[in-house]
Amino acid sequence: MRRLIVVLLGLMIAAAGAAYVLYQRVNQPFRGYQGEAQLVDIPPGATPRTIGERLVAAGVVRDARTYRLALWLSGDARRLQAGEYRFDRPMAATEVVQKVARGDVELVTITFREGLTIGEMSKIFESNGFGSAASFVAAARDPSAVQALDPDARDLEGYLFPDTYSVPKRTDAIRLVKAMTDQFLRELTPPLHQAAQARGLTVRQHVTLASLIEKETGRGEERPLIASVYSNRLKIGMALQCDPTVIYALMLAGRYDGNLRRDDLLFDSPYNTYRYAGLPPGPIAAPGRGALEAAGSPAESEYLYFVSRNDGSHEFARTLAEHNRNVQRWQVQYFRDRRAASAAR
């Protein structure tokens, strides 16, 4: 009997020792890979066992037994998530399991600058390896995210907020488009919305006007002045004569080749603000926060005209005579002088 007790006691001590060793192992930081970091790709639908095999093969977890124990202790076997994970320091197996259960995947960035159309954004989406341009365009055709604000929206042109987004590598078009419209809704703050309403603008008109401003200038200090020109023209029923609206009309028709010609100003489209007074039917690009602010709160001015100084800035004028002088200076004499200087070299 005494011998049996000793044997049982020995087995208990051995079992306790083994359990202690295993417990220490799952909580001991481990790094079995070379280099600064290790990426582990876990495909959708991967089983807990497959995930463990990948983590062990990558040198992130010491061995299969350690992984299984860490998984059992965590209780997260059904919560492990697919994605690409980055490991750049020694981590305990329990930490690794928790990271995968949280879905703490490696993020990549994608940037959409201000003034892009859905079509232009779709090419950036594709070139960054997220998916096809067609899938982005298809996702942006669904206006449901903004229809409470804009019942007339037929797509999300103007409502995909231009910004840099940090997203998982496998983000598809639908999820990215949702992130962009969510950001737009955050940027269109109550004060911004109220300022536009006070000027008699619906959300669609506000965003449309902001998109024209965005396409006309990249200079923040000029946006309120550009907005004042368009606001002044709208008040008196004067055509906006905005070149970017003609370009957009040509793009919709598949007729834009990168050059805007005088004859193009006659192109029959509701987006052509040379032929039709007032705002075009909808946004022609994605405005940023500055353009949205300018559209809702334009500068106080008497300007009705502006012309490019060919350096990104513009010369503003109150009268047609003053504008014609500015055009002569910046669009005629300026290029004449450049051609003369070039010929003299």
Q: What is the pLDDT of residue 343?
A: 78
Residue with tokens 């004499």: 333
Q: What is the pLDDT of residue 25?
A: 80
Scored b (16 or more CB within 10 A) or e, 77-109 reads: eeebbbbbbebeeebbbbbbbbbbbeeebeebe
- In whole angstroms, give the CA distance from residue 57 to residue 156: 44
Where are the domains positioned within the chain? 25-105, 108-187, 200-303
β partners of residue 308: 314
pTM: 0.84
Of the candidates 206, 189, 198, the residue with the CA atom closest to the CA atom of residue 295: 206
DSSP state, residue 266 = G
pLDDT 10s digits, 303-338: 999 999 999 899 999 999 999 999 999 998 988 888
Of the candidates 215, 281, 218, the residue with the CA atom closest to the CA atom of residue 243: 215
DSSP E strand stretches across 287-327: 305-308, 314-317
Please provide the CATH number assigned to the domain covering 25-105.
3.30.1490.480
Q: What is the pLDDT of residue 169?
A: 87
pLDDT lower than 50: segments of the chain: 6-11, 13-20
Check if the beta carbon of residue 98 is closer than 8 Å to that of residue 76: yes
Q: What is the pLDDT of residue 2?
A: 59
pLDDT 10s digits, 16-60: 444 445 667 889 999 999 999 999 999 999 999 999 999 999 999
